[in-house]
Chain A
Amino acid sequence: MAPRLPARCWRQLQQPSSSSLLLGAAQRSTTLTRSSSLPSASPSSPRFLSHTPRRSVKYGWSTLSPRARPTRFNQVTAGLPAPTTGPAAAIKRREQSTPVRTGVLAIKKGMTAFMGRSGSRIPCTVLQLDRVQIVANKTRAQNGYWAVQVGLGERRADNVGAPMLGYFEAKGIAPKRVLAEFPVRDKTGLLPVGVQLMPDWFHIGQWVDVRANSRGMGFAGGMKRHGFSGQNASHGNSLNHRTIGTTGPSQGGGSRVLPGKKMPGRMGNQRVTMQNLPVLMVNNELGIVVVKGCVAGPKGCIVKIQDAVKKPPPPPEFIDETRRTLEERFPDAEERLTAARLKHLELKEARKEGRIEKMLSAGVPEFLQEGLDQQPEATITA
């Protein structure tokens, strides 16, 4: 086996001229060089093994030693099955447990009940969506995974640091109170930046997973934190009524406390996921999604709602419908983002060069627009 090559050695050889047309080039070279010597080999028969072309100006050249030069036998993956570890394998493995669509951020508003017509009473939790917007998309190529960054609420500009002000400026979005990421299965789950998700992103009867941080209880003893039974009130007990007692065996057992022993400590304020809660009601006017059952955390806490992992996703017709609704409500999301990015670049340059004060005194909005009109739109690829 030839030594493994560092990427920089063979990257140059895989320029479009040589590598992208591996099969075709292989065929061509074969026909050119061997047609005289082997006329019986049919040129149209496909070659399934990759073939590195011979040395020729046409295919580029390399000063590597013949042993180190990439061939079909010294490739890292030559003849091996697809790896079962690594980022790509991890994403593939998690495919079924990753929701198709993004979720939303919400604020827990409290609990109430739905009274059924047959006299049943369904306890439910009211979650409110406050100007939930798509802030960014995370892609496999750039970030290594697919996800949607979502923001909720609003935040005063003087409460936001300069880096984040620049971030929101580039998105054309007002500073958000909270940002959170929702993993999605693939790029079909990504959404245009700046669009707002309303409660009708969910439909009545669908299942959602709701995540929130539970109430923080502070430093709690063993009885409260782990449900230990405590100790006797009497029978000679003194000052140890709520203590946890022994924490492990004596000398024979190793005279040590086993790892993971339940002890007093910080309780609560952990992320709690309530799985498979049915959606009972969605209302755009009130901005609420009502889910059955309870959700961790106090009133006013931030909650993440996403399609349930352990239930089938919403029907594709519904997903299409929600996408279409988004397009109807925000037809110019792309243009806005482009305009905001251009403006951001302009302002960034001005900040770097210290011209921002001058620009502000000269009345920026009109001042900038003239410049932006001249920009060719095709150059905006970032």
Chain B
Amino acid sequence: MNATPMARRPLGCLKASLRQARQQRVFCRQLATATIASQASMGALPDHNFYRINDPKTKALRTAFAVYMATPPSPSALAARLPPAVPAKKPKAKIAILRNTTMPPVLTAPPSNPMPLLHQTQIKQMDPTGARTALFAKNRHGVRPGDVLQVTHRRGGEPFAGVCLQIRRAGIDSSILLRTHLGKVGVEMWYKIYNKNVAGIDLVKRRAKRARRARLMYMRQPQHDMGSVSELVFAWKKTRKVMTSAPAKGSGGDKAKDQAAAKKKK
């Protein structure tokens, strides 16, 4: 059945017409010096370069391919192509779609490391005042390993105090490891510093000299173990009382602290 050969080979007729067009184009080229293609028809085609493949031996051009650009060159040109900013009337969807206010231009590479940016937004949500971030800032005001900290829980209960063995910095997931002795048993607790269950973190006592390690795991060994920090906490509370109550009673708090330190040395 040879009734519809064109229907079976649609590209056949395309080939023929392309060939014809090519012939005509040569004439056009000779007649007109420069013809500007209409932007309406060819505005659709994205920008491209040509990648040439040379023969390895003769170094002559073997073939070439059009390679389209991975990222469009200018956002302004793209904006011109986009439809006018009158949005179509949309039926209300059941599920609220999180639409960003600033939509990035199409086909632009996203930030190669989105994690810090994600952490920033999360931290801003969980720590709007910036107090927790400031407490663990990487400067001389921030907490360092070796300092004694006290963590207060949101749901009440006894606050947990201990010496900070390490600070695990992981953005919103940052945490601290505290060690103390409860009833002559060594106890260590991890706390997420941005967790809502952690109501407050207080700096009880700074380490006298900056620790030269980021992780003070040697403090688990008996000869380096700090033992219970309850006395330090007691002394610190005393100074706070002095500070909060108006009449200053000399430097009682400091004395207590010194005594505690002396006791520990013994």
Interface positions of A (Cβ within 8 A of B): 12, 15, 109-110, 112-119, 121, 126, 128-131, 133, 154, 157-158, 162, 165-166, 168-169, 172-175, 196, 200, 203-205, 281-288, 290, 314-315, 317-318, 320-321, 324, 328-332, 335-336, 338-340, 343-347, 349, 351, 356-357, 360, 364-367, 369-376, 379-382
Contact = CB atoms under 8 A, between A and B. Distances in A.
Contact of A169 (B42, B67, B196): B67
Please list the 8 inter-chain residue pairs (A to B) with the smallest Cβ-Cβ separation, ordered nearest first: A287-B110, A369-B37, A119-B197, A154-B70, A335-B44, A174-B70, A165-B65, A157-B51
Contacts of A166: 65
B78 to A, nearest CB: 10
20 contacts: A112-B115, A115-B126, A115-B172, A115-B192, A157-B67, A166-B65, A174-B71, A288-B110, A317-B91, A317-B93, A329-B82, A336-B46, A338-B44, A343-B66, A344-B66, A346-B22, A349-B18, A374-B24, A375-B17, A379-B14
Given A283-B118, A351-B64, 19 more contacts: A112-B122, A117-B196, A128-B114, A130-B110, A157-B65, A203-B95, A204-B98, A205-B95, A285-B102, A286-B111, A317-B91, A318-B95, A346-B18, A360-B64, A366-B35, A370-B37, A371-B25, A372-B37, A373-B41
A162 B66 CA distance: 11
Interface of B: 1, 3, 10-11, 13-15, 17-19, 21-22, 24-25, 28-29, 34-35, 37-38, 41-46, 48, 50-53, 60-61, 63-71, 81-83, 87-88, 90-91, 93-95, 97-100, 102-104, 106-111, 113-115, 117-119, 122, 126, 154, 170-173, 192, 194-197
Nearest to A163: B65
B45 A343 contact: yes
A373 B37 contact: yes
B196 A116 contact: yes
Contacts of A290: 118
A376 B17 contact: yes
B172 A112 contact: yes
Among A347, A356, A382: residue with most chain B CB under 10 A: A356
A288 B114 contact: yes
